[in-house]
Amino acid sequence: MAQIAVNPLVLKDVVLSFGADSYEKHVSGVTFTPSSSTITWQGLTPDAKFTDVTAADWACQLDYVQDWDTADSLSQYLYENEGTEVAATFKPRSGSGPSFTAELVITPGAIGGVVNSYATTSVTLGSTKPVLVPAP
């Protein structure tokens, strides 16, 4: 059995864009998460049991800081484009490595927060399955 090498991912200089606009300066976390269910059918005999899984639904969570002063901030973009689909690109390492593309359905995030703190929030956007785009 071959021992496979590992190159751990550390998010510290990423690219996150919606269409032609880049929002990596607004975001502190990007997570694409699949969700599927296990389904089982049981017949009337013990050996007539079948198990499978459903196709995964995907979601993209963005953790970001609110900015309501900048006209084209991520907060403003999400607020003004609720329900629209946008092509997104997530490149975990800006200078090298692969990227992921997906279609996201825009949902606005929370407004406000806790006193004497940066107003951070998270929003979960509907997503197609991200497509892995190999590094050039």
Q: Residue 95 contacts by C-beta under 8 Å, 6 or more apart in sequence? A: 13
How high does pLDDT run on average in the chain? 96
Going by pLDDT thresholds of 50, 70 and 90, the confidence category of residue 115 is very high
What local confidence, expressed as pLDDT, does residue 109 receive? Answer: 96
- The region that residue 112 occupies, defined by phi over 0 for left and psi between -120 and 50 for alpha, beta otherwise, is left
Residue 125 one-letter amino acid: L
pLDDT of residue 95: 85
Least Cα distance to 124 among 41, 16, 28, 33 occurs for 33
For the stretch 5-36, pLDDT in tens is 999 999 999 999 999 999 999 999 999 999 99
Q: What confidence score (pLDDT) does residue 18 get?
A: 96
Q: What is the mean pLDDT of the segment spanning 93-99?
A: 91
pLDDT digits (tens, 9 = 90+) for 35-71: 999 999 999 999 999 999 999 999 999 999 999 999 9
Q: Which residue has the tokens 């995964």?
A: 56
Instruction: Say what the pTM is.
Output: 0.89
**Domain residue extents for the chain:** 25-133
Give the confidence band of 136 by pLDDT, cuts at 50, 70, 90.
Answer: confident
Residue 127 has pLDDT above 90, yes or no: yes
